[in-house]
Amino acid sequence: MTASTLPRLDAEFTTLDGLTLRGWLFPTSKRGPAMIMSPGFTGAIPSWKTPLNVYACAQINARQRAEHLHDAVTWFKENPLVDETKIAPWGLCLGGNVTLAAAAFDNRVAAAISVAPLIDPTGNPERRQPILELAMHDRASRLAGEEPMYLPYVKEDGSIPNGLQLPAEMMPALDRPGIPVENRISVQNYT
């Protein structure tokens, strides 16, 4: 049986900083492992619809992701559906960095899975400063009631706003398995 065929329970918990995080539990007849999923820079895991051979799943997608991952581990350890010795964070791209950072300080996790982590997320220093200035302008505008400012996540040439270069084939490759991708990102993600 896979996660896509199991009954799904909505789950939520409050983090140390007061944020309510929500995810899904796929209960079985016995206690099982838990996977905490941390998406990439702009990912949204619920849209992936990939069958997973896990019993519990939560998505972490917030500014203080490493700290929130620790809070998710705490919540899973207290959940009677989860085997507290089999909790593993799983991260993709920037989420992989978060997973490695959090797991390095949390001996409660049984394993950490980091898929394609960014080795240097700062990008090109010449591009970084203008992006940070744009982000601060956007922050002030949002406090004044304006809508968030977005940039394309990946330009047609494969570059992203902070200067990292991705293969031009990346976006078309994501279309093949049917992963919905919205090619935009808030400039606040760069701060």
Residue boundaries of the structural domains of the chain: 9-115, 125-189
Q: How far is CA 112 from the centre of its chain?
A: 14
Note the pLDDT tens digit of each residue in 33-90.
998 888 776 555 444 444 444 445 554 444 578 888 899 999 999 999 899 999 999 9
The H-or-E segment that residue 96 falls in is helix 94-104
Q: Name the residue among 58, 54, 56 with its Cα closest to residue 46.
A: 58
Overall average pLDDT of the 99-122 stretch: 85
Does domain 9-115 correspond to CATH entry 3.40.710.10? no
Q: Report the SS3 class of residue 34.
A: strand
Q: Name the residue among 40, 6, 10 with its Cα closest to residue 22.
A: 10
